Amino acid sequence: MRIAVAGGTGTVGRHVVAVATERGHQVVSMSRSEGVDLVTGRGLDQALRGIETVIDVSGVQALSTKKAVDFFTSATQNLLAAEKAAGVMYHVVLSIVGIDHANSGLYAGKLVQEDEVRHGVIPWTLLRSTQFHEFVPMSIKAASVGPLVFVPTMRTQPIAAKEVAAALVDAAEAGPQGRLPDLGGPQAEQLRGLVAAYLAKTHQKKRIVPLHLPGPMGKAMRNGELIPAPGSAVGRQTFLEWLETINGA
Q: Do the bridges between strand 90-96 and strand 124-129 make them parallel or antiparallel, or are there none, so unpaired?
A: parallel
pTM, 2 dp: 0.94
Report the pLDDT value the prediction gives residue 104, as an integer from 0 to 100: 83
**pLDDT tens readout for residues 112-153:** 999 999 999 999 999 999 999 999 999 999 999 999 999 999
pLDDT band at 249 (very low <50, low <70, confident <90, very high): very low
**pLDDT tens readout for residues 185-229:** 999 999 999 999 999 999 999 999 999 888 888 899 999 899 998
Q: Could you tell me what percentage of the chain is helix, strand and coil, using 3-state DSSP and rounding each to the nearest 5?
A: 40, 20, 40
- Are residues 57 and 20 in contact, defined by beta-carbon separation less than 8 angstroms? no
Tell me how many degrees the CA angle 22-26-31 measures, rounded to the nearest 5.
Answer: 95
